[in-house]
A and B are shown apart, each in its own frame.
Chain A
Amino acid sequence: DAMVIQNPRYQVTQFGKPVTLSCSQTLNHNVMYWYQQKSSQAPKLLFHYYDKDFNNEADTPDNFQSRRPNTSFCFLDIRSPGLGDAAMYLCATSRGSRVDEQYFGPGTRLTVT
Chain B
Amino acid sequence: GDSVTQMEGPVTLSEEACLTINCTYTATGYPSLFWYVQYPGEGLQLLLKATKADDKGSNKGFEATYRKETTSFHLEKGSVQVSDSAVYFCALSLSYAGGTSYGKLTFGQGTILTVHP
Whether B43 and A98, one on each chain, are in contact in the complex, defined by CB atoms closer than 8 angstroms, is no
Q: Which residue of A lies closest to B105 (CB)?
A: A102
Whether A55 and B102, one on each chain, are in contact in the complex, defined by CB atoms closer than 8 angstroms, is yes
Please tell me the size bucket of the interface on A: 20 to 34
Q: Does chain A have a CB within 8 A of B46?
A: yes
Interface size on B, residues (CB 8 A): 29
Whether A99 and B32, one on each chain, are in contact in the complex, defined by CB atoms closer than 8 angstroms, is yes
Residues of A within 8 A of B31 (CB): 98
Whether B102 and A106, one on each chain, are in contact in the complex, defined by CB atoms closer than 8 angstroms, is no
Given A40-B87, A101-B34, does the pair A96, B103 have CB atoms closer than 8 Å?
A: yes
Whether A50 and B42, one on each chain, are in contact in the complex, defined by CB atoms closer than 8 angstroms, is no
Q: Does chain B have a CB within 8 A of A48?
A: yes
Whether B44 and A104, one on each chain, are in contact in the complex, defined by CB atoms closer than 8 angstroms, is yes
Residues of A within 8 A of B36 (CB): 104
Task: List A residues at the B interface (Cβ < 8 Å).
Answer: 4, 6, 31, 33, 40-43, 45, 48, 50, 55, 90, 92, 94-107, 109
